[in-house]
Structure 1
Amino acid sequence: MNDELDPDLELADQVLQLLHAAPAGVSEYELIQQLKSGHSTHIPNLPLLDKLVLFRTHFLVFNALYRLRERLWQEQRAHLAISPLCVQLQPYRCGGAALAEHDPLRDYYLDLGNLRDTDEDDVEKLLASFWTRMQGGEEKQAALELFELHDSRQALSLATIKHRYRQLVSQHHPDRGGSTERLQSINKAMEILERYYG
């Protein structure tokens, strides 16, 4: 979808417009690319090669997604499933349990102080803490988190993991605007998961 987005719309409304056009869901990366090609003025129109630009773009999109999810829930219009690999509008389900549960990610992304106060050193520390956990005996869990498979309700197979690996490599390849560091992280995680599931 390369149509111009309405510049007067809030980022959450621009995201909603794009999600209506993608009923099967869309990855965070695709959503960002569509916002850029639609000339959204709410996110940095810069290559995602710089870690800080990548963090800020990611934060702004996830802030909009969590605000949108709460609004749609309050209006009883839809449920918004949020994950980096698939953001999807789903039918509204009655019952407040889903949003009543404490969600630390929601709290993090709705606090704009986390956007304002995070600098390049902090982004480096976030990445380093991920890899420290990888080396500290939690490597399998950390690799599954990187692949967004840690909450999977189905039994994981190597075929499922390889399919997710191919998606992530395609999404984060430097030729497509991804970063070499992220690609190296994905490859490292795949090596670890092959040891456990191979």
Structure 2
Amino acid sequence: MNDAFDPDLELADQILLLLDAAPAGLSEYELIQQLKSGHCTHIPNLPLLDKLVLFRTHFLVFNALYRLRERLWGEQRAHLAISPLCIQLLPYRLGNAALSEHDPLRDYYLDLDNLRDTSEEDVEQLLASFWTRMNGGEEKRAALELFELDDSLQALDLVIIKRRYRQLVSQHHPDRGGSTERLQTINKAMEILERYYN
């Protein structure tokens, strides 16, 4: 989408317009790129190279997604599937208990204190905890978390994992202003996941 958004539209409504135009869904990365190309004023208008900018952009988008999901569900219009790899509007089905179950991610993203109180140091610690868990024998779970994938919520295979890997490399490659350290972490996670899903 190259047209600018109406600046009075809330972020959730801008996202809804994009998802309506993409029945197969969009990845988080695609959604953010389309919001930026539409001159969305609700997310930072900065390159996603700085870890804190990346975190804040991600948080704002997911906060809007969870609010939108509740609104669409309450209006019985649609179910919004939320995953970093595929954000998609699905038909509303009465009796689906998905929204009534406790969802820690929903709670996290709807609490704006988490946005305000997370510093660049906190983001660094999240990355560092990846390596701690790796060395502690939780390598598969740590790698999936880094890739923002969950094998209990979605059927994962190497095709899906490689697609996510390419997205992350594209975002964090040093030639595009990313950090070598982050790229090495992504490559290590891919090596681990290839062992488990090959």
TM-score where L is the length of structure 2: 0.89
Q: List per-residue Cα deviations over 1:80-128 (Å, max 9, x = no partner).
A: 1111111111111111510011000000000001111111111111111
Q: 1:19: Cα distance to partner?
A: 0.7
2:74 is matched with: 74
CA separation of 1:162 and 1:34: change in aligned 2, threshold 3 A: closer
SS in 2 for 1:90: strand
Q: 1:180: Cα distance to partner?
A: 4.2
Q: Which amino acid aligns with 2:76?
A: Q
CA distance in structure 1 between the aligned counterparts of 2:151 and 2:87, rounded to whole angstroms: 17
SS in 2 for 1:76: coil
CA distance in structure 1 between the aligned counterparts of 2:178 and 2:84, rounded to whole angstroms: 14
2:190 is matched with: 190
CA separation of 1:179 and 1:81: change in aligned 2, threshold 3 A: farther
1:128 is matched with: 128
Q: Which structure 2 residue ranges, 5 or more long, are not aligned? A: none
Q: List per-residue Cα deviations over 1:135-191 (Å, max 9, x = no partner).
A: 21110122133331423554x554554444334434544556755444322211111
CA distance in structure 2 between the aligned counterparts of 1:192 and 1:173, rounded to whole angstroms: 19
CA distance in structure 1 between the aligned counterparts of 2:197 and 2:132, rounded to whole angstroms: 22
Aligned residues: 197
1:102 is matched with: 102
2:54 is matched with: 54
TM-score where L is the length of structure 1: 0.89
Q: Which structure 1 residue ranges, 5 or more long, are not aligned? A: none
The alignment's C-alpha RMSD in Å is 2.1
Q: 1:46: Cα distance to partner?
A: 0.4
Name the stretch that deviates more: 169-178 or 1-10: 169-178
Identity %: 84
Does structure 2 retain, via aligned residues, the 8 Å contact 1:141–1:150?
no
1:8 is matched with: 8
SS in 2 for 1:19: helix
